[in-house]
Amino acid sequence: MADEGYRQEQLKELYAPHVKAVNKLVDELRVDERRWVPYVAPLHAGLLTRLLLVIDSPGTPPQGTGRPHEVMLGVEGDDAASARLGALVKRGGIDVADTMVWGAFPWYAEEAVAPAEARAGVEPLRRVVELLEQVEVVVLLGKVAERTWRMLATAHPDQVPYAHVLTTSEADDAAWTGTNAERHRRREEQAEVFAEAGRLLRGD
């Protein structure tokens, strides 16, 4: 998305048939500048999603864009977490066109998402998974994602998709603590989760 030409191409497709329903939901969730949700980038599968990647949140609001309403969520975003997520998808042998990224707390968050805020993400997540009829695998990246998914399963057990659910660390490893060896181990554990997701999608 750092390439302006590519970004403009993606923006032109925000309401393409495969992502229209999801991005119309994003429009509904955009309450004001303090409760802002990024669009799902059309490079992703949208309604055809087979692998749903649930991150904790989109992170902090983008700075210096001038047009925050044009910011998109995906593995080709211009930030470290997106780059990490894209690398994990690639390493797992997963086609980006089979995936979609969603925030358990879908709004931008200035600070770490609190448990009460995680609950606020349950209804948007319910509405998203209701749209994704082809989901086979869900990867929960982070504690907020895990908590929100559990709350969804508790509150709406009949609406949780039948899918393999895998858990791993958050996509942005900048917040990880520990020695270099410990950080490397966590990265490898994370990569193995994505490798498993790839195997499940391929039916290996």
With a cut of 80, say whether residue 181 has pLDDT above it: yes
Over range 117-136, report the average pLDDT.
Answer: 94
Over range 182-204, report the average pLDDT.
Answer: 92
Over range 140-162, report the average pLDDT.
Answer: 94
Number of domains in the chain: 1
Instruction: Please give the C-alpha separations between residue 76 and each of 6, 102, 153, in angstroms, as whole numbers.
Output: 10, 14, 30
Instruction: Please give the C-alpha separations between residue 47 and each of 52, 99, 135, 153, in angstroms, as whole numbers.
Output: 11, 10, 9, 21
With a cut of 90, say whether residue 4 has pLDDT above it: no
Q: Which amino acid type is present at position 65?
A: T
More confident: 199 or 171? 199
Q: According to the model, what pLDDT value does residue 182 have?
A: 81
Q: According to the model, what pLDDT value does residue 58 have?
A: 87
Instruction: Please give the share of the chain, as a percent, with pLDDT higher than 90.
Output: 60
Confidence of residue 129 (pLDDT cuts 50, 70, 90): very high
With a cut of 90, say whether residue 179 has pLDDT above it: no
With a cut of 90, say whether residue 134 has pLDDT above it: yes
Over range 101-128, report the average pLDDT.
Answer: 88
Q: Which amino acid type is present at position 122?
A: V
Instruction: Please give the share of the chain, as a percent, with pLDDT higher than 70.
Output: 91
CATH code of the domain in which 32 resides? 3.40.470.10
Over range 105-121, report the average pLDDT.
Answer: 83
Q: According to the model, what pLDDT value does residue 40 have?
A: 94
- Give the 3-state secondary structure of 97-151: HHEEEEECCCCCCCCCCCHHHHHHCHHHHHHHHHHCCCCCEEEEECHHHHHHHHH
Of the listed ranges 21-30, 64-73, 134-143, the least confidently predicted one is 64-73
pLDDT tens digits, residue range 59-89? 777 665 444 567 788 888 777 888 889 999 9
Q: Which of 99, 111, 113 is nearest to 40 (CA)?
A: 99
Q: According to the model, what pLDDT value does residue 139 have?
A: 98
With a cut of 60, say whether residue 104 has pLDDT above it: yes
Range of the domain at 76: 4-202
